[in-house]
Structure formats: structure tokens, C-alpha cells
Chains A and B, each alone.
Chain A
Amino acid sequence: MRIDCKHVWEHISAYIDGEVAAGLRAEIDRHLETCEICSAVLDSTRNVVILVADERVFELPAGFSERLHARIERELELTG
């Protein structure tokens, strides 16, 4: 049975995470070999996942850690 594009899209996220069963994975791979659209959807989704995870995208506010640990230090002294 050949799977269609919509079926592939349903599994894109699990596919990226390596969480689809071997049989289905092989079917998706076969589909990707010939379907330019699904290949691009897979690539772009994977790229978005990689980019969003980059530490330069979501940065802690400047001085966050210093302020947090100063607060923790006050607590440690208070109850010490």
C-alpha cells in the first residue's frame, strides 16, 4: 500500500523524533524519495525545530541568573 501526502504529514513530528515504527518509517522513506512536497515539508519542519532550539533565540533576560542567586542567597542566610 502506498501512503499519501496527508498520511505522511500526520507522522512528521514523530518521524523527526525517530518515534515511528520501522514498517511505517520505511513507507514514509519510500514516499519521500519521490515526493518533493513532502521532502520540503519534512526539511522545513526539521529546520524550524532546530532553529527554535537555538540558544540565541530564547535567551534569559540579562542579569536573570545573578538576581535569582542573590535571592536564593538571602533565603539561605535568613534561614541559616
Chain B
Amino acid sequence: MHAPTSEFESECLRRILAGERHLFHELFRPCERAVYFLLLSLLKNEADAEDAAQETAIKVFRNLHLYRGESQFRTWVLSIARNEGLGRLRKNASRREESLDASADEQTGDFTPAILTSWREVPTEELERKELAELLRRAVDGLPEIYRNVVLLRDIEEMDGKETAAALGITEGAVKVRLHRARALLQRALAPTMKAFAPKPKGLFGRRA
């Protein structure tokens, strides 16, 4: 998931604003995964996230003339998505909005890693089996909101720290702290179970040949 080059973006933007409106499909396409997962993380419901993603696309299109190119296009799109998501949370009185401000970083918690003996293999082939993917999704879903947002953008959408900070309205320092804690919590939650998915050692006595 890489952002398109800014050259592609500015060319698209120029032509869309000049009347080639159908190019908006191509401009928005590279952003749609990140938009959806950011909204899913906020709204915790697939149907709501999809609806909000569509609304975001429409708002982006209608406000395209306001984009000034001061941030990456995708960052701007994600901040619109975030506002859309937060707006929906606020409207929904039955939901208690979790604190999204930086003070939450001061909360204490146990971020000590799970201790285990060596586990060097990445069992990516096991992802073909649904269990491992499900396990990973549940672990991410189980993270406190402020950590989940950062993991989704940094590790899953592979955005850099600066872009993530801009999209979430927090500092780059807060992104680093949250990412560190999120990964520690994931390691704790997953490492002991995931070890079972690692390929079996190939040699005698547990040593690899």
C-alpha cells in the first residue's frame, strides 16, 4: 500500500479540477484501504465503516478545490475520514467515545513482553489457514483504540510516522510511543500462541539442519 507519487496526484488534481472528473476514481483508489481501516478502527463495525468511507470519498471530491498540497494527498484524505468517523461517534449517543487525546499516553500499563524461547520463523504460509489470520485480527481488534489506530496506519497501511501523526492529529512522538506499546501488547497477546504456528524444526534434536 503505497501512496501514489505526488506527480500523479497533482496531475490528477489539475485535470479533475479542469473538468476530467472521472479521474477522481483513480485519485481516490490508492487511499481507499487506509480510509476503510481507519474508519473500521474508529467505528468498530464493517457496515458503518463502509458507509463512512463512501461519505468520505464524496466529501473529498466536493472539497477537492480546498486541498492545498501542504500535506500528502492521502494524509489530507485520512484527516477527512477521521473527522467523518469522529462525527459519527459523537452523534451516536449510545456509544461512549474513548479518549483520543495525547494525555492517554500517560496511562500506565504492563508492556513487558512475553518471554519465550527462540521463534525465528515467520509462518506466513499458515496465513492460508483462516485460524492464524483470525487470531491476528482479534489481537489487533482487542487493542485499546489509541493503539489500534496507530498499528493500522503504521504497520498495516505502512504509512510513515509523520503521515500517521497528521492523519490522527497527534505528534510524531506520540505515534512512536503508541506504536511501541501496541507492538508490545500484540507480542504479549500473540507470541505464546503463535509459536505453535511456526514451522517445525527440521534437524535432529530440534536443531535446524
* A14 and B137 within 8 A (CB): no
In B141-186, which residues have CB < 8 Å from any A CB?
Answer: 151-152, 155-156, 158, 176, 179-180, 183-184, 186
Q: Give the Cβ gap from A35 to chain B, nearest Cβ, in Å.
A: 11
C-alpha gap A19/B172 in the complex (Å): 13
In B120-156, which residues have CB < 8 Å from any A CB?
Answer: 120-124, 127-128, 132-133, 136-137, 139-140, 151-152, 155-156
Q: Give the Cβ gap from B140 to chain A, nearest Cβ, in Å.
A: 6
* A47 and B122 within 8 A (CB): yes
C-alpha gap A49/B132 in the complex (Å): 14
Residues of B within 8 A of A22 (CB): none
* A48 and B183 within 8 A (CB): yes
* A65 and B151 within 8 A (CB): no
Chain A-chain B contacts (Cβ-Cβ < 8 Å), number:
138
Q: Give the Cβ gap from B53 to chain A, nearest Cβ, in Å.
A: 6
Is A68 interfacial (CB-CB < 8 Å)? yes
Q: Give the Cβ gap from A25 to chain B, nearest Cβ, in Å.
A: 16
A-contacting 9-mer, from B68-76, B77-85, B109-117, B201-209: B109-117
